[in-house]
Amino acid sequence: MTTVAFIGLGIMGGPMAANLVKAGFEVVGYNRSPDRVQALVDAGGRGASSVPEAVRDADVVVTMVPDSPDVEEVTTGDDGVFAHARKGALYVDMSTIRPDVSVRVAEAGREAGLRVLDAPVSGGEAGAIEASLSIMVGGEPDDFAEARPVLDAVGKTVVHVGPAGSGQTVKAANQLIVAGNIELLAEAIVFLEAYGVDTGAALQVLGGGLAGSTVLDRKGATMLAREFKPGFRLALHHKDMGIVTSAAREAGVVIPLGAVVAQLVAATVARGDGGLDHSGLLKLVAELSGRSDSN
């Protein structure tokens, strides 16, 4: 049985670790919040009280933490993954971080004797629960092949996209597209409501045509109901838009619509809505239109 150490058991990591248990892996989890560890134990996994304890005997180490500094802290510190994982283990970072940091982490991991993949995911909380995530993977092809059973246990679309850092680059593009889709869906909903049409019926027919999207399918009904329970928090999407706008600037690529959406996301977070689901962009669109954010 392959032993997987899973570090970061939040909204995404918790259900992903539980799905690895269901798939037959021995999963040892660590999280700063003990209640998250207990949830994994209740699902059939084992808990650890520290990163060194979690990774010591693991064949595969997975991290799912919020941001670039968190990944560097959990990997390169004295109590980090690279100092305590066994030589030859696979390290898979499934967080969403800056591509350049991902490359730096991969280099440090290889120097420590580990095989490293960056494998950020898309699909939100629902995809994590359903094990239907889209996973974009950067790293060596042979390492990807060996990690495939673990990745297949949590994702439905699993694709190797290039060398170290490539997964994070593709994820940045993903977040650009998702934010743009949410913003346009929000604008469409406010527009439809202004004319008093049956918005549920409108989204149904729009979803069956070229305007259809996974964003519309997953977010449309909750946006109509003004239900913004976080599946993916606006604060995290704000972080991700910073990644893509910075990376685009470094590459000399112009993303005019993306830059506007990044500013709208930033404004929504600045007004205190960072804890809402990213579909909470609708609140700002409604207010900019001089309309209440409730029907």
Q: What is the mean pLDDT of the chain?
A: 96
Residue at which a domain ends, from 163, 196, 219: 163
Return the pLDDT at 293. 60
Claim to verify: residue 10 and residue 146 sit in the same structural domain = yes
Q: Is residue 281 part of a domain?
A: yes
Return the pLDDT at 294. 52
pLDDT of 30 above 80:
yes
Return the pLDDT at 273. 97
Claim to verify: residue 153 and residue 181 sit in the same structural domain = no
Please compute the mean of the pLDDT values over residues 252-260 and round it to a whole number.
Answer: 97
The pLDDT tens digits of the residues spanning 101-133 come to: 999 999 999 999 999 999 999 998 999 999 999
Return the pLDDT at 28. 98
Question: Which residue type does 109 have?
Answer: G
Give CA separation, 83 vs 66, 93, 108, in Å. 21, 16, 11
Q: Is residue 294 part of a domain?
A: no
Instruction: Please give the positions annotated as active site.
Output: 171
- For the chain, how many residues are written? 295
Rg (CA), the chain: 20
Q: Is residue 55 part of a domain?
A: yes
The pLDDT tens digits of the residues spanning 166-221 come to: 999 999 999 999 999 999 999 999 999 999 999 999 999 999 999 999 999 999 99
Sign of CA dihedral 104, 80, 241, 154: positive
Claim to verify: residue 154 and residue 47 sit in the same structural domain = yes
Collapse the DSSP code of 3 into the 3-class scheme (helix H, G, I; strand E, B; otherwise coil) and give the result: strand
pLDDT of 45 above 80:
yes
pLDDT of 274 above 70:
yes
Claim to verify: residue 126 and residue 140 sit in the same structural domain = yes
Looking up residue 193, the CATH number of its domain turns out to be 1.10.1040.10
The pLDDT tens digits of the residues spanning 77-96 come to: 899 999 999 999 999 999 99
The pLDDT tens digits of the residues spanning 137-149 come to: 999 999 999 999 9
User: What residues make up the domain containing 260?
Assistant: 169-288
CB neighbours (10 Å) of residue 223? Answer: 26
pLDDT of 51 above 70:
yes
pTM of the model: 0.92
Residue at which a domain ends, from 163, 189, 206: 163
Owner of token pair 């991700």: 240
Residue at which a domain ends, from 113, 142, 163: 163
Return the pLDDT at 295. 47
pLDDT category of residue 1 using cuts at 50, 70 and 90: low
Looking up residue 17, the CATH number of its domain turns out to be 3.40.50.720
Owner of token pair 């290039």: 162
Give how many domains the chain has, as a whole number.
2
User: How many Cα neighbours within 13 Å face the side chain of 192?
Assistant: 21
Claim to verify: residue 70 and residue 124 sit in the same structural domain = yes
